[in-house]
Each structure stands twice: as C-alpha cells, then as structure tokens.
C-alpha cells in the first residue's frame, strides 16, 4: 500500500519520500509497519524540529537569553533543514528560521548594550571601592580606630570579590589599574596597622618598665617621712603621662597608691603636729 500527501509519499516498500520544492527525495525506510505508521514516524521528526523552532522564536524575545546559545541552536536547526530527514512543510520551517536571524541580531545588539552598561556600572563600583580604601589608608594613624577600620577594609575586599564572581566580565586592561590602586591602599593600611601596633607594643613595654621603677621610687620615699610628698607628686605626674600597660596596670597602681597613702598620712600627721604647736604658741 502506498500513500501520498502534499509534502510526502510512501511506496509499497515503506520507502518514505519528502516532496521539497516539487522534487521527491528519499529520506528513509521503515519496514514491517503500515504505510501510515512509516509516514507518522518521519512526521514526528518534523514536529520535533517545529517545536525547537518555536522555542527559539520565544527565546529571541526574551532579554535574558544568551545570543551565542541561541545562535548555536539556530545553526543546528539550519543544518537539519539542508538535507531533511523528516516529512512536512519544510519550506515553512526554513522561512521561520530566516525570520529568526534579524530577531537574533536585535537580541545580540540589546545584549551588547546591556553588557556595556553593566561593565560601566561595575567599573564605577570598583572605582568607589578603591577610592574608599585609599581614604581609609590615608587616615591619621594616631586617630584611627583600627578594629572598625579593619572591618571596613574587609567589607570593601568582600564587595570586590562579589563583583569579580557575579558581576560582568570586565576587560583586564581596564580593571587592572583599579585593582592595583585598591591593592596598594590595602597594603599601605596593613603596613601602617602593623607599625602602629608595633610602636604601641614598644610604648607599653617601656611604660611598664618605667612604672615599675616609679613604684620602687615611691616605695623608697616612704622612709623619708612627710618631706617626700612633693617628690611623690612629681612621680604621680610622670605616671599620668605614660601609656596604659593593660594587664598588670592595676597591680602596679595599687602599689604606687599604697606608697602615696603612707607618705600623705605622714604629711597629714606632720601638719597636724605643726598646727597644734602654733595653737600652743
């Protein structure tokens, strides 16, 4: 049994032909089934390609579609239409594919514009990050709250990393100068922080030694009686000018204060004795 339609025919041996542009082309054979089943098999292949084209027609209308991926799929469809291995209105599919090309070009232009805008925005954001890092790095180190500043600098670095991972691809020759500026600011900040704490550590060690010496001097003054009060006050003024030493500060201060209490008690007793003598006189 043979079948013939406007776009296909099947002969008595189940050879299936495509009628394309008035020309009949053998595209395959499906033996041991009815002519209708053989025809239906190759029609399903046509329907599959038709569905692929419908998907492409939707994708070129979607701004989130990637032009290169759409183009790759379109080329694959075009290839199947060169030597069709299915039956149906092949010419209509070819026309639809041709209509997709200008739509793809429009999508490509829109994607390019969005990418350029995204890159410009990412570069502006990176410039802000670098500028902020420079601002932090150039602060007066004696007035910097290092814990807060370190947190700020880390947040800037995390923000940069996020832009690198999830942001648009930025040309290396454009991004590198900004990164160098940011990196230089971070390096300066870390160097200044190390120097500050090294100096602080030295001042604390020096202060601890001096305060220990002051305590010894104060304790030695207790044997000099009330006349040592003025010398103790000088030691007290010297103490106030020194940096706090953290752990151990309180213990040293207690010893220093205890020596002062002894001296001022002696001074108080001496003053009381003088007042009594003056009243008696």
CA 192 – CA 182 distance, rounded (Å): 15
CA 269 – CA 90 distance, rounded (Å): 121
Our CA dihedral for 162, 165, 168, 170, rounded to 10 degrees, sits at 100
Q: Look at residue 178 in the predicted model and tell me its pLDDT.
A: 95
- The candidate with the shortest Cα–Cα distance to 71, out of 58, 86, 56, is 56
Judge contact between 18 and 82, C-beta under 8 A.
no
**DSSP letter at 226?**
G
CA 44 – CA 86 distance, rounded (Å): 8
CA 146 – CA 128 distance, rounded (Å): 21
85 φ/ψ angles, rounded to the nearest 5 degrees: -120, 40
Which regions of the chain are under pLDDT 50?
Answer: none
Give residue-wise pLDDT tens across range 133-166: 999 999 999 899 999 999 999 999 999 999 988 8
What would you report as the CA-atom Rg of the chain, rounded to the nearest whole angstrom?
Answer: 45
Q: Look at residue 266 in the predicted model and tell me its pLDDT.
A: 81
Q: Look at residue 1 in the predicted model and tell me its pLDDT.
A: 65
Whether the model pTM is above 0.85: no
Q: Look at residue 250 in the predicted model and tell me its pLDDT.
A: 82
CA 26 – CA 10 distance, rounded (Å): 10
């Amino acid at each position: 049994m043979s079948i013939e339609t406007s776009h296909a025919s099947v002969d008595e041996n189940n050879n299936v032909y495509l009628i394309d542009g008035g020309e009949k082309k053998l595209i395959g054979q499906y033996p041991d089934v009815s002519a209708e089943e053989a025809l239906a098999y190759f029609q399903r292949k046509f329907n599959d390609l038709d569905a692929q084209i419908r998907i492409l027609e939707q994708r070129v209308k979607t701004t989130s579609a990637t032009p290169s991926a759409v183009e790759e799929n379109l080329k694959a469809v075009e290839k199947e239409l060169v030597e069709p291995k299915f039956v149906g209105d092949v010419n209509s599919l070819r026309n639809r594919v041709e209509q997709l090309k200008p739509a793809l070009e429009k999508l490509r232009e829109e994607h390019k514009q969005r990418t350029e805008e995204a890159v410009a925005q990412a570069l502006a954001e990176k410039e802000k990050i670098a500028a902020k890092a420079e601002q932090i790095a150039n602060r007066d180190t004696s007035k910097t709250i290092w814990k807060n500043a370190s947190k700020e600098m880390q947040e800037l670095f995390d923000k940069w990393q996020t832009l690198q991972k999830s942001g648009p691809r930025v040309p290396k020759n454009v991004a590198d100068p900004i990164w160098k500026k940011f990196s230089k600011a971070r390096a300066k900040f870390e160097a200044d922080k190390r120097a500050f704490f090294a100096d602080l550590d030295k001042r604390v060690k020096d202060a601890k030694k001096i305060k220990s010496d002051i305590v010894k001097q104060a304790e030695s003054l207790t044997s000099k009686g009330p006349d040592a009060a003025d010398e103790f006050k000088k030691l007290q003024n010297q103490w106030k000018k020194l940096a706090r030493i953290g752990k151990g500060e309180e213990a040293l201060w207690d010893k220093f204060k205890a020596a002062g209490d002894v001296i001022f008690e002696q001074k108080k007793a001496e003053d009381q004795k003088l007042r009594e003598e003056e009243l008696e006189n």
